[in-house]
Amino acid sequence: MSKADEIGGLSNDVLLLFVPLPKRPEWIERISKRFKGLQVRWVCAIKDDKSMVTAKDVPAEVLDGVTLLSTYRPPPVELIPHVRFVQLNSAGVDSWIGHPTYEDPAVTICTSNGIHAPQIAEWVIGAWLFHQRQFLHFTENMKKGYWPPSPFATQVQDSPGMRMGILGYGAIGRQCARLGSALGMEIYAYTRSERATPESRKDDSYCVPRTGDPEGLLPAKWFHGTSAGAVNAFLAQDLDFLVLSLPLTPETRGILSHPQFEILGSRKDGKKPFIANVARGGHIDQEALIEALETGTICGAALDVTNPEPLPAEHPLWRAPNLLLTPHISWVSSFLPDRLLDVLECNLERLGTGKPLINVVDRKLNY
């Protein structure tokens, strides 16, 4: 590494990675050399038995003097009194809202928005194809050794010409749009704020190369607003496939309930939509969802998130018809650790050189 590559702006800082990843000595060595004077500490947040390490388990000498923190859940504020920058491992901040560090305007908080988009979008499209191609039906046939007499005995629809509505057009929503568009779907997007200009439609978050919709060109129509009426107007657009990929905030909690399911299921052509939620369980009134599934108001749903988590074995969601339920694993990918470290290094470089950071949280909007 040449002198030109060295960055000295973090020489008085101590970085702690409290992450669910085994320590990477080669990464620590490279970062320590690149950012002259920066102290780097690493604590794996998962024990050998797969249980979680809490911040209170971390030795005091490791926490002492930490100013830069990469983590998921918020440690007790008394353990991180000197922190000035937090790089979250998650795309959402709902677990931090109300924490004193989060409320401190002197602390910059950034998410890892973008590092989860490819794998979560694959889960969304996989769930859609699983439903559309009726793979569960054929899996059951396979267990019985049953070969149906005619392919026309099963009704299957393909995707071209269908309409995908994406509620929350961030990094995850944009990659869902990219894959949905590749299948021939028309894309409708919904965001909190208006995106009337080409510049406003661009994505300023971390983006994995060759993914997403960086320029915001894929949606055929763009909706916006904060009221139930604005959301309902979007849901009334004859959507075949609705994807929830928005942050959980007081405004968005319970954004889908009985009235919204009625709107989704009231198409004049009689078609019923499919819903996928990869955001948070709190976005959907689960009793209303179960009713919508049982009455055929919607044709099916896929949830990677529920309320609560873990979902109790006796919960009625497990028995709802036409529902695919997975235990909050859509974000899992063997490529995630490299992306997590990449977005952290990007922000360390910007922090050390005085450039604007990426994925900075707006704490008025909570995303």
Alpha-carbon span 55 to 57, nearest angstrom: 5
CA gyration radius for the chain? 22
For residue 262, is pLDDT > 80? yes
Alpha-carbon span 219 to 239, nearest angstrom: 13
> What stretch of H or E contains 43?
strand 39-44
Q: Specify the pTM.
A: 0.92
User: Any idea which of 5-9, 60-64, 175-179 has the lowest mean pLDDT?
Assistant: 5-9
What average pLDDT does this structure show over 313-322? 97
pLDDT of residue 154: 64
Alpha-carbon span 153 to 150, nearest angstrom: 5
For residue 112, the Cα-to-chain-centroid distance in whole angstroms is 9
Alpha-carbon span 114 to 212, nearest angstrom: 9
pLDDT of residue 214: 97
pLDDT of residue 104: 97
Place 266 in a pLDDT band, splitting at 50, 70 and 90: very high
Domains 3-113+334-353 and 117-325 share a fold: yes
Helix axes 117-132, 135-144, angle to 10 degrees: 60
285, 252 in Cβ contact below 8 A?
no
Q: What does the pLDDT look like over 288-307, one tens digit per residue?
A: 999 999 999 999 999 999 99
Alpha-carbon span 225 to 233, nearest angstrom: 10
pLDDT of residue 149: 86
Check residues 357 and 153 and name the one with the higher pLDDT: 357
Mean pLDDT, all residues of the chain:
95
Q: What does the pLDDT look like over 28-52, one tens digit per residue?
A: 999 999 999 999 999 999 998 989 9
Task: State the residue for tokens 């049982």.
Answer: 294
Q: What does the pLDDT look like over 63-110, one tens digit per residue?
A: 999 999 999 999 999 999 999 999 999 999 999 999 999 999 999 999
For residue 1, is pLDDT > 60? no
Helix axes 25-34, 336-353, angle to 10 degrees: 20
For residue 4, is pLDDT > 70? no
Count CB-CB contacts under 10 A for residue 72.
15
pLDDT of residue 153: 58
Place 156 in a pLDDT band, splitting at 50, 70 and 90: confident
For residue 2, is pLDDT > 60? no
Q: Which of 52, 127, 141, 118 is nearest to 325 (CA)?
A: 127
DSSP state of 321: T
CATH topology assigned to domain 117-325: Rossmann fold (3.40.50)
- Cβ within 8 Å of residue 331, ≥6 positions away: 116, 119, 120
Q: What does the pLDDT look like over 158-213, one tens digit per residue?
A: 999 999 999 999 999 999 999 999 999 999 999 999 999 999 999 999 999 999 99
- Assigned architecture for domain 3-113+334-353: 3-Layer(aba) Sandwich (3.40)
Domains of the chain, residue spans: 3-113+334-353, 117-325
73, 66 in Cβ contact below 8 A?
no
What average pLDDT does this structure show over 126-134? 96
